[in-house]
A and B are shown apart, each in its own frame.
Chain A
Amino acid sequence: MAVGKLISLNMEETKKDILILAIESSCDETAASVCRNGREILSNTIYSQIDVHTLYGGVVPEIASRAHIEKIIPVIDTALAEAKVGLKDLDAIAVTYGPGLVGPLLVGVSAAKALCLATGLPLIGVHHIEGHISANYIENPDLEPPFAALVVSGGHSHLVVVKDYGEYEVIGRTRDDAAGEAFDKVARAIGLGYPGGPKIDKAAKEGNPHALEFPRAKVGESVYDFSFSGLKSAVLNYLNTCEMKGEKWVQADVAASFQKAVVDVLVDHSMSAIDQYGFKKFAIAGGVASNSALRAAMKEACEKKGVAFYHPSPILCTDNAAMIGCAGYYEFIRGERSSLDLNAIPNLKLGERA
């Protein structure tokens, strides 16, 4: 009898679903999500502050922090309600603790820790970029490590080898501006405004990507590193020269040619990495992974090589908590736990654990 009971208990345990509440507040989106067993998203609530930051031409950290404080509980409440679960049904709480803006990060981290203290639930600190990469797991049930990934957003440009769940090696990174940052700066210079990514993407569709020849920077010895500030300067120089000569420039052509230069470098570096490391799977992630030209170029380049190409839907490319829940799940089953002194780490390195 006793043995039988033990066995059935064990079976129950292996069948038990893992429910995680995830919280993300690293930049200008307050987000919460409930996920089941890592890849099944029961809710994905995102409050975007973009309207308020648009007034300032970019994210203002203090304003973002204040907005997070106002929205954090309503967003968590909505995520739980949509998932039809209560705090008592959860197995853990995952939260982004870096990298990102320290003020915004602290709101999510502090709230998550308080929820854990009050409920007794385990806390899991999650790396924001690991979250972005993990967004690919959600819609691709067959995707498993190892694979190569390119993370491109307003704050990050990383070429990464995903060795296993929770195990990453950064093989290329930007030396200066992030790809998304370059989009924002160029968009401002050519009068498109903030946020630059989607606006350039749209304008570029009407322009000629070969109208202007902007540089594709190589960074010294490091084949996989990126540099976008030279490209940005080249665009600004071109605009200045036109102005001085009294010549007109075409917004759509500048947008398309700039975007082509960024995409070429990203594709080139990614394909070199795939060749060098021999991966058959490649994923993109981060806000810039929504860019239609980048997606199309990566898809074509991967198809040529017979490499499977993965990319999240736009809603999972933007900052969201579903991806944090997914990454947090794999941390959870690996036994990773954070303590109540978990701090926000604005420059947290990929693969690092606090």
Chain B
Amino acid sequence: MKILALDTSGVVASAAIWEDDVIRTEYSMNDNKMHSQTILPMLKEALDLTDEDLSTVDAIATAGGPGSFTGLRIGAATVKGLAYALNKPILPVPTVDALAYRLWGTEKVVCPIMDARRDQTYTGLYEFKPQPPMETGENPGTEQELVMHVLTPQCAVPIEEIVEKINDLNRPVIFLGDGVPVFKERILKQAKVQVSFAPAHMNRQSAAATASLAAYRARVNMAAHGGVLTPEEGVVETAADHTPTYLRLSQAEREKQEKENAV
């Protein structure tokens, strides 16, 4: 199986090709250039340099949101165009889940934080656990699959709300994401647990992580449907159906709702 993955949910623009548990190519940029000017040329260059043929791709993965509304739409329109022309399914991956997946295997709680503006963060809480759980006395040489569990699904909340949840868990936590420079001081002020921040090579969005998680989700989907990748809302979507998960209404809709609720 071969998966092309894009992530344009934040400042990073990232494209990767995953094939049978190997990242064949990854191209990421953390720059303030518009994604509309970078992501397609990046993808084309990566394909050209590696002699990859888009028609051999089985599915197209994308960071499906949340994130910058414009960034998400550039990504969504791009993967929709590719998927339509290539007649391939789209594998949308929750953006915050894909960020957490970068820290695969840690025994600590993972807390990605993205700067969501309006004094909020797109965040969630995750942990990695053996599947099935290791039995006492089991041969230590047995392979244990580590599965990412969602403790708090991705959401848009004030930073204080997620730190409070972490304090309640009372477990060490690793933060990552572009929200770290924005919220670090407030986190350290409020946290009552051991807090760490991920280093540069794993603290931002990466299409390689998006692709890996998409591949895992596709494998679970196929196992449940007799080995066939089957449309399933939020996991496998068509080019026509896929839309980003914004986690937020537009400002106009929000104001309209507030007005209606006030009446």
Binding site for B on A (CB under 8 A): 55-56, 60, 62-63, 65-66, 69-70, 72-74, 76-77, 87, 102-103, 106-115, 117-119, 339-344
Contacts and interface: CB of A to CB of B under 8 A. Distances in A.
Q: Does more than half of chain B's interface fall in helix, strand or loop, or is it mixed?
A: helix
A341 B40 contact: yes
B216 interface: no
B81 A103 contact: no
Given A62-B251, A340-B40, A343-B37, A87 B85 contact: yes
A107 B84 contact: no
A343 B240 CA distance: 23
Contacts, number: 104
Given A110-B36, A341-B38, A115 B84 contact: yes
Q: Does more than half of chain A's interface fall in helix, strand or loop, or is it mixed?
A: helix
A73 B239 contact: yes
11 contacts: A63-B252, A66-B243, A73-B239, A103-B73, A109-B36, A110-B77, A112-B81, A113-B78, A113-B81, A115-B84, A117-B82
A354 B77 CA distance: 21
A103 B251 CA distance: 14
A62 B252 contact: yes
Interface string B212-248: 0000000000000000000000000001100110100
Given A65-B70, A343-B34, 20 more contacts: A55-B256, A56-B252, A63-B250, A69-B76, A69-B77, A69-B80, A69-B244, A87-B85, A106-B36, A106-B70, A106-B73, A110-B78, A111-B81, A114-B81, A117-B44, A118-B81, A341-B37, A341-B40, A341-B41, A343-B37
Given A69-B243, A341-B38, A343-B37, A118 B86 contact: yes
Contacts of A341: 37-38, 40-41
A343 B40 CA distance: 11
A107 B242 CA distance: 13
Nearest to A121: B85
A56 B255 CA distance: 11
A73 B74 contact: no
B74 to A, nearest CB: 5
B17 to A, nearest CB: 14
